[in-house]
Structure 1
Amino acid sequence: MRIDFTKQLQAKLLYLVGPPDQVTLENRIFNSMCLLAMVVSVVQIPFNYFTGLRMTGFIFAILLLALAGLYYLSRFKNRSALSIAISVVLVNLLFAWIYFVSSGISGASLMTFTLTFFLVMIVAPRGQYVIWLVFNLLLVAAIILIEYYHPELVPNMYADRASKIVDLSATYLTSVLVIFFGTIYLKNAYNREKQQREEKTRVLEVLNTEKNKLFSIISHDLRSPMASIQSYLELMKDIQLPPEQKLQLEAELLAMVNNTQDMLYNMLLWSKSQLQGLTVHLAPVNVFKAVMTVLDIHTTFITNKRLHLTTDIDKNLTAMADLNMLQLIIRNLVGNAIKFTAPGGQISLEARQENQQCVITIRDSGTGIDPKRVPEIFSLKARSTFGTGNEKGIGLGLYLCGEYTTAQHGRIWFQNNPDKGCSFFLSFPLA
């Protein structure tokens, strides 16, 4: 119960100050100072009234109304720069007024000028520091000189010695507490901003490293099929090959070109998502039609590798998904099953309803997944490996599968089969 109350209080304070993703640090500090100053004013109004400084209490009431207006202008009208400038001038002029009705230099007004300058230096833009320093010094010097040459303008407003001690003590206590909590808030805000910047820097460094690694792998892996195609064309030009050998080379080159095309397609999708972000269009998708379209593309590879494919899919099963993303995921998973299954092996594809989820299973009798690679299988850290037919990838397919499944509010996971091979599972909400 106490934890819930604390969370509710923190949420309300965050709303009053301004969410960090919508309001700058300087503006949040200014909003906090306005709220803090309003609290101080609320305390000072009755305190000054009962200590005999009724005019001072009246001035604090005016200050309270002014601060409320400036806070509203900054927090809800996004006019923080104007609010800061008005508040600095207004608060200093009001404290100058308080100086003359609160016994002048014999009272507590100079401490309030010090506190005000501290708050101004926190919220003011860096380019205005000198301006507000000069303003504060000239204003304080002016009112002290006025009192020096015209002491009659500053009457003693304290009823007795006890009232003066109470006022000075209360002003000192208020100033110390405001400086204390203001400094803590400022340090915490600075540390949070610093941590966020460091975290962003670390993320950018990781992304940059992964990007360099990815491009290095691509540049390396693209050379191999291109060199093979070049060698084949040169061979065809110079030597007349027997028909059987020619068909075998053509089949190998076709598989190599298709594998390279898949690599480039994945790369283009990844690049697009990095530049433009993922765009998801969820709609009811007939799973049977979506899957069979993908399997038609892989028919040639399945036949050439003499794999046995079985399917068990409810023709009426409908999932809430993005058709293009779903087919990309299945194409990558089926492609991996073909790639890592030895000739003569088996691949099965099933889709069924479990509770309110559509669960798709791609199972193969291939080489399985090394347990050491499990933690990074859906990340950019995953290393590409050769298939049973020497097929090569770039380790990007499963990363895209994970990203696209999450974007569709789905789930993807896998496990090694008890005998051999592995099974990948996809789960999407039913339409």
Structure 2
Amino acid sequence: MNKYWYYLTGLNQEFSLESRIFHSFCIVAFFILTLCVPLNLILGLPISALLAVVALIAQACLYYLSRFKYKTQISLWLSIFIIHIIIIVNYFFNSGIQGPSFLLLVAIFFLVISLSKPKEYWFFISLNLVVASGLALFEYLYPELVEKSYMGRGFHFGDIISTYFISVLTILIGLRYIKKNYYISQNLLETKAADLERINSTKNKLFTIVSHDLRAPLATVRSYLEILSNLDPAKENWLEIQSDLIEMTQNTDNMLSNILMWSASQMEGISINKKPILLADTLIPVIRVFQSIANAKQIALNFEIDPGLKVLADENMLQLVIRNILSNAIKFTNNGGNIQLTVESDYPNYVIKISDNGIGMTDQIKDSIFSLKAESSFGTKNEKGVGLGLNLSKEFTDMQGGRIWFESASGKGSTFYISIPIA
């Protein structure tokens, strides 16, 4: 039912609120005027019945002109003038001030205020007041020109009561439509305000990352390069600095990748390409890269993946998730520690399990680990992150229809689980 009503009144994207109220008024007017024709004939008011037919035809034409020809402003003006003319004629043939015309003028006054633009208020208000006061004054001066059309008190009461209900119904429908659209507009404003707040928070986070978190490692890389340029390659320190430099550039590259992917996801520009992929072929290249980083901290990074396992996932997204988890595991594991990556079956998913015996997490860190509120922190060798990796990992895992969770104890290490659907 709502679908047909929205079609008849017009979509929000096509028509203004005033236009939609006008269309709804026209639709309601069709039914009311259709009822008025036989009702006026029963009450012995043939002229009023004829005027109802004229109003019905005019309103149908004006509705078509507004709804399908997009001439709402012209339709509105013509509708207001035609209604006032019909009320004037009805006034003289339907008992004047004792008839229902003034009740109809009150209903029309409400519609005029609801539909007209602010700069048109005074014109239409003046028109309504002039018509009402002019009719009353004319009848006061020339009462003999107003026809007393009722055949009895029962017909008189019936006409007044029916007109009252018609007027109340018209005002009620108009108010309900206005209030409904007001609440819709309020909800849209609140949604937009929340979106703006989120975007502003995202912008601040991004600026902080670019200005501080990325700046620091790049400055360190520059310092290392200056030292290397003045250092004898034959010295033992040269190889140690070179190793640190490789590790630093790898961390910085990982940070930059996270920033770019996270920024794209915030702008709703990330598209997912899920397809059956071999888990070993996808994960082993990532693990090999991090093994060299782990070796620099004398951390044993071992893995066990059945080469035949297939999952339904986006290869790039899954690699990014694993990169972030492994990067954190190395970052928060002391020299000489162990990291183990295994895959377990939990039909209809495979669960990638990454365990370390690092420093673990406190309860305070656990509560915000997957949110943007998570603060970036330094690793066991002063490695710096940006506080985005796990937030991005959760977002990308969810997008692939998977799930990510963890277990951790302070001082005892952490274990992360990534559940991905089996292909």
Indicate whether the TM-score tops 0.5. Answer: yes
**Partner Cα distance (2:140, 2:18) in 1:** 38
Q: Give the match's secondary structure for 1:361.
A: strand
**Partner Cα distance (1:201, 1:314) in 2:** 49
Q: Give the match's secondary structure for 2:214.
A: helix
**Partner Cα distance (1:363, 1:91) in 2:** 79
Find out whether 1:288 has 2:289 as its counterpart: no
Q: Which residue in the other structure is 1:6 paired with?
A: none
Relative to structure 1, the CA distance from residue 10 to residue 409 in structure 2 (aligned partners, 3 Å threshold; closer, same or farther) is farther
Find out whether 1:271 has 2:259 as its counterpart: no
Given that 2:93 and 2:147 are in contact with CA atoms closer than 8 Å, whether structure 1 keeps it comes out as: yes
**How big is the shift at 1:407?**
2.9
Given that 2:209 and 2:386 are in contact with CA atoms closer than 8 Å, whether structure 1 keeps it comes out as: yes
Relative to structure 1, the CA distance from residue 103 to residue 358 in structure 2 (aligned partners, 3 Å threshold; closer, same or farther) is farther
Equivalent of 2:192 in 197, 200, 207: 200
Q: Where does 1:14-413 land on structure 2 (aligned, <5 Å)?
A: 24-61=16-53, 63-64=55-56, 67=59, 84-85=76-77, 87-137=79-129, 154-180=146-172, 182-240=174-232, 243-275=235-267, 277-413=269-405
**How big is the shift at 1:139?**
5.4
Count of residue pairs brought into register by the alignment: 423
**Partner Cα distance (2:34, 2:365) in 1:** 63
Q: Which residue in the other structure is 1:3 paired with?
A: none
CA RMSD of aligned residues (A): 3.6
**Partner Cα distance (2:144, 2:173) in 1:** 38
Aligned-residue identity in percent: 39
Given that 2:25 and 2:170 are in contact with CA atoms closer than 8 Å, whether structure 1 keeps it comes out as: no
Given that 2:359 and 2:410 are in contact with CA atoms closer than 8 Å, whether structure 1 keeps it comes out as: no
**Partner Cα distance (2:186, 2:386) in 1:** 36
**How big is the shift at 1:35?**
4.2
**How big is the shift at 1:146?**
7.5
Tell me the TM-score normalised to structure 2 length. 0.83
Given that 2:361 and 2:411 are in contact with CA atoms closer than 8 Å, whether structure 1 keeps it comes out as: no
Q: Give the match's secondary structure for 1:415.
A: strand
Counterpart of 1:291, as a letter, is L
**Partner Cα distance (1:393, 1:417) in 2:** 21
Tell me the TM-score normalised to structure 1 length. 0.82
**How big is the shift at 1:333?**
1.9
Structure 2: gaps spanning 5 or more residues = none
**How big is the shift at 1:393?**
0.9
Given that 1:218 and 1:394 are in contact with CA atoms closer than 8 Å, whether structure 2 keeps it comes out as: no
